[in-house]
Structure formats: C-alpha cells, structure tokens
Amino acid sequence: MKIYIDGRYYGRADARVSVFDHGFLYGDGIFEGIRVYHGKVFKLREHIDRLYQSAKALLLKIPMDSEAMERAVLDTVQLNRKKNGYIRLIVTRGEGLLGIEPSSCKKPSVIIIVSDIQLYPEEYYKKGIAIITSSSRRIPPDCLDPRIKSLNYLNNIMAKLEARQAGCLEAVILNKDGFVAECTGDNIFIVKEEGLLTPAPYHGALDGITRQTVIELAETLGIKTQETSLTRYDLYNADESFMTGTGAEIIPVIKIDGREISGGLPGVVTKKLIKSFQKSVMN
C-alpha cells in the first residue's frame, strides 16, 4: 500500500501525520469516500466538487486546484493497482499550536488512502438488515451544515454505538424536530405506493453522491422520487426501505425498531434499483 501525504508517497508503516495536526486535535478538516469499480473511479468529479465546497464553507484553502487533486487521486489509485476498492481523501487544517486558533496552522495537509472496504457482510445485501432509530439527535443545520463532510463524526458514532448495543448494524438519526435526517453513514429511502421518498437535506441529511445517483437511476426507471419530510411513522409504514452510501452502495432494510418492512424481505423496487446501480458502475 502506498499512501499519498502532501505530494509524497509512504508505505503504511511509515505514513504519519503530526500529533499537532488540527485534524487530529479538533476534527478540523474534511474528507470524501470514493469507490473504484473495475479500475475506474466512480463519480470522481462530483466528489472533488463537494470536497472543495466543504473546504470553502470552512475557510480551508486546499493547497492545490481541483484538477491537480483529481490527478493525485487517479495516480494514487494506479500506483496501488486497485481494480476495485475504496479511496479516503482527507484534507486537514494542518499542523498548528495546542489551541483552537486556526491561524496557527500554516499549511493544510492532503492525504489519499486507497484500500479495501466492506461495510456490511455480503449476506445482508441479499436478505436485508434490521435498524433502529437512535436517541442521539442530528446536530442542527444552524450549528453545523450537514453538507460539510467534516472529520468530526462523533454525532454519528454515538448513534452507531447505540445500534450496536441494540444488536443492529445501523441506526436512523432524527433531527431536533423529530424528522428523519439520515443513518450514521448512509442516506435512507423508503418506497411508498411504488414511489421513492427520502429526507430533504434541510432536515440534516448529507446530499450523498450515491443518494443522487439512485434518484437519477429511479427517474430512468420511471420511479418518481420526492425529497420530503419523514417521521418514524413513515418509516414504520413503508412498503420498502433501503440505505445508500459510497461504501454501503444500496442495502435493503427489512426491519425498523422491530417493525417488519416489506414482509421481512428486500422489496421489488429495491431489487430493481440495486440491479440498475450495479449495471451503472460497470460503465
């Protein structure tokens, strides 16, 4: 494995960042998770665009332009000879003083890791998973906009821990008003009367790249999609449900808080979208 750090490549054992890096000390940084399918980087331009938008929102000046960043990602994938894998692209505020003051960080750091990923066991993609709703609420958008994909994921981690304690792999996070935001690392969709419904980003959901891909695929299949407000009641009474994410892709949900969805099996619309997504990543 070769890891890119600020223009140089290091082996896994030698790849290091400073303990004074504000990404490590305060979660002051951003990231993107990107997939490689059959030697091609999936939706690279969309991920790079979102990275730079997150950086702009945080007044974080990335020390290379977007074209150079794309080349660095592609070169790192090629160097690691990954036909199928996962890219973690990270930009931190950089090394600074032991204080929150961002101006003490003189230069942001860029890190690119290319490796493998499997978020859920393969069997769950065929039979679906059970999830819960978490008691941890989404940080309100007026405190931290969910469109910023920052390194601070403690809110999500607390919900993930709760899911694990309940014997589940994933949890739904509600916003402070009780509306569904997203899961700990994935977006969530439900199927109702053959149409797709998913939480609007203003409820605290990341506008995921895979989420948008699924919406586009649904349109080509003649499936109407609506970004809207959802509550737990809507989840419990869904005809089908599934989650989407770069790592997770599309995974069926067959039980929510003990309520069985779609007869406890992946639904027809869900399976149709999975098939369409798999076909799309082959191109």
User: In angstroms, rounded to a whole number, what is the distance separating the alpha carbons of residues 216 and 243?
Assistant: 15
Half-sphere exposure of 123 (CA within 13 A, CB side): 1
Are 67 and 162 contained in the same domain? no
CATH number at residue 267: 3.20.10.10
Are 48 and 11 contained in the same domain? yes
Are 148 and 233 contained in the same domain? yes
Residue 22 in 3-state DSSP?
helix
Given a contact cutoff of 8 angstroms between Cβ atoms, the answer to whether 276 and 242 are in contact is no
| Domain carrying residue 200 | 123-280
Each of the 283 residues of the chain gets a pLDDT tens digit; together they read: 999 999 999 999 999 999 999 999 999 999 999 999 999 999 999 999 999 999 999 999 999 999 999 999 999 999 999 999 999 999 999 999 999 999 999 999 999 999 998 778 889 999 999 999 999 999 998 898 988 999 999 999 999 999 999 999 999 999 999 999 999 999 999 999 989 999 999 999 988 999 999 999 999 999 999 999 999 999 999 999 999 999 899 999 999 999 999 999 999 999 999 999 999 887 7
Q: Where are the beta strands (DSSP E) in the chain?
A: 2-5, 8-11, 29-37, 40-41, 85-92, 109-115, 129-133, 170-174, 180-183, 187-192, 195-199, 225-228, 240-245, 249-256, 259-260
In this prediction, residue 122 carries a pLDDT of: 87
In this prediction, residue 120 carries a pLDDT of: 85
Are 172 and 242 contained in the same domain? yes
Are 131 and 66 contained in the same domain? no
Are 184 and 91 contained in the same domain? no
Are 130 and 102 contained in the same domain? no
CATH number at residue 104: 3.30.470.10
In this prediction, residue 282 carries a pLDDT of: 78
Estimate to the nearest angstrom the gap between the alpha carbon of 187 and the chain centroid: 8
CA angle 81, 86, 89 (to 5 degrees): 100
Give backbone dihedrals phi and psi of 174, rounded to 5 degrees, phi first. -95, 155
- Catalytically active residues, by annotation: 149
Are 80 and 196 contained in the same domain? no
In this prediction, residue 119 carries a pLDDT of: 76
In this prediction, residue 214 carries a pLDDT of: 96
Given a contact cutoff of 8 angstroms between Cβ atoms, the answer to whether 89 and 73 are in contact is yes
Question: Domain end: 115, 141, 165, which one?
Answer: 115
**Tokens representing residue 92 in the block:** 């931190």
Specify the DSSP class assigned to residue 200: -
In this prediction, residue 274 carries a pLDDT of: 95
In this prediction, residue 12 carries a pLDDT of: 94
Are 168 and 271 contained in the same domain? yes
Are 108 and 129 contained in the same domain? no
Q: Structural domain tally of the chain?
A: 2
Question: Domain end: 75, 91, 115, which one?
Answer: 115
Are 267 and 144 contained in the same domain? yes
Question: Domain end: 91, 115, 139, which one?
Answer: 115
Are 58 and 146 contained in the same domain? no
